[in-house]
Amino acid sequence: MRSNGTSDSRIVITGIGVVTPLGIGMEPFSTAVMNQQSGVKPLELLSTSAAPGNIGGEVSDFTEKDARKTYLKPLKKSVKVMCREIQLGVAAALQAVENSGLDLDQIDHTRFGVEFGANLMFSPPWVLSDACVKCCKETEDGLEFQFDEWGEKGLAAMEPLWLLCYLPNMPACHIGISMDARGPSNSMTVDEASGNLVLGEAMSIIERGWADIMIAGTTGTRLNPVKSIHGTFWDDLAQNPDTPSSWARPFDKDRNGQVLAEGGTSFILETEKHAQARGAKIWATLLGSGASCVADDKGQGHYREALVRAMTGALHSTGLKPSDIGHINANGLGEVEADREEAQAIHDVFGDIASQVPVTSFKSYWGNPGASCGSLELAGSLVGLQEGVILPTLNFTAQSPEDPSLNIVHGAPLATDNKVVMNINVTRQGQASVIIAQGA
């Protein structure tokens, strides 16, 4: 079991950076989650979105102007080649380094690496409009796009560095360049499963002796105009006449869909010995991880089986039993069938104690930002565990009688002495990931 290893082998989190609908930076974020605030509200920055009612978990105090002047000030010349998702992720990474107290002048940069997750990134329609218009021809039926003219006329009208703004490996690139991180670097694009996967991989890199310090984080938005359209086609999206803050209702009997959101989160990982040598604050110890992908021949993901395999693998990697888990931070989309399958998977793994182990879901606070959800949710659990509590699921009153019974923490924080959290996430495609950590 990794948690019983020496300080040379135990991997700890020593810094957290967050850019969230509840605030930017750990102090405002911690205050908001401890006060059980919701970040779901009418969108302020996006004039065009397919989100129902134009409601979502938006980081409304993060504009490009804010990024240049404050959050990305050291990289202000590079902001022009960063789309919003990249900006969110890089800002979170810079904050994580600051939060960790790392002195970048005193480390071996060849042993400083980056592991980062992101969504697929899409250009807003207006970025492509001028180029597309140049390839259109007037016909009897109106303007018709001429595909054979794109290479000559369309591309010539595009911003030369356009593609660099939307590559999902660019957050890791910008972070590595800005901090001179010359160790291992990798990018993952696995939607909601990304957060736990980057932590598991970064953890393994340090354990193999390939790095002393890793930045592991994620960024994502589902509020982008194109991504929000995808959401309307692929997902059940919440909408109701009640106040927006009540729309995200994981596991509740009245849940009717997920809420689209955005955000970025980063962690600093190092061995416990390395952290202690520099007097770093330790947020948590990473104990182990698990991953699985289960889908049918049509590409339809099987949530239940994928989650069972990932949770079982994570427990096996740590040597822990289900009874050792202090609480589960669930994926909790707020979709009827997805939440039901997740509850079934918890019963499959936890057996007789499945209805006793505390369960919470932080998507009730801000919605689903896609690739960054797992990282952000783990950060929420660690904030609570610092205070000796499991923070509650918002907007939960009771489960449907058709759902397997779970002990959903709700109403008020639940005091706990067991600081072991199992953080679980799964994608539409049946890609599941789990990280098990122990709060300090």
Rounded CA-CA distance 122/138 in Å is 28
Query: What confidence score (pLDDT) does residue 4 get?
Result: 44
3-state DSSP assignment of residue 395: coil
pLDDT (average), residues 201-227: 96
Give pLDDT tens digits for 327-356: 999 999 999 999 999 999 999 999 999 999
> Sorting pLDDT into bands at 50, 70 and 90, what band is 2?
very low
Rounded CA-CA distance 324/314 in Å is 13
> Sorting pLDDT into bands at 50, 70 and 90, what band is 140?
confident
Rounded CA-CA distance 189/176 in Å is 18
Query: What confidence score (pLDDT) does residue 124 get?
Result: 86
Rounded CA-CA distance 155/128 in Å is 10
Pick the range with the lowest mean pLDDT from 24-33, 70-79, 86-95, 365-374: 70-79
pLDDT at 49 over 90: no
Give pLDDT tens digits for 229-280: 999 999 999 998 889 999 999 999 999 999 999 999 999 999 999 999 999 9
pLDDT at 299 over 50: yes
CB 373 within 8 A of CB 190: no
3-state DSSP assignment of residue 368: strand
Q: Which two tokens stand for residue 85?
A: 């998702």
Query: What confidence score (pLDDT) does residue 298 get?
Result: 86
Query: What confidence score (pLDDT) does residue 5 get?
Result: 57
**In CATH, 2-123+163-439 is 3.20.20.60:** no
Residue closest to 20 by CA, chosen among 10, 12, 9, 31: 31
> Sorting pLDDT into bands at 50, 70 and 90, what band is 196?
very high
CB 286 within 8 A of CB 435: yes
Residue closest to 264 by CA, chosen among 5, 15, 10, 17: 17
- 75 vs 197, residue with greater confidence: 197
Q: Which two tokens stand for residue 229?
A: 């359209």
Give pLDDT tens digits for 307-316: 999 999 999 9
Share of the chain above pLDDT 70, in %: 98
pLDDT (average), residues 132-148: 91
Give pLDDT tens digits for 154-193: 998 998 888 899 999 999 999 999 999 999 999 999 999 9
pLDDT at 66 over 90: no
CB 334 within 8 A of CB 258: yes
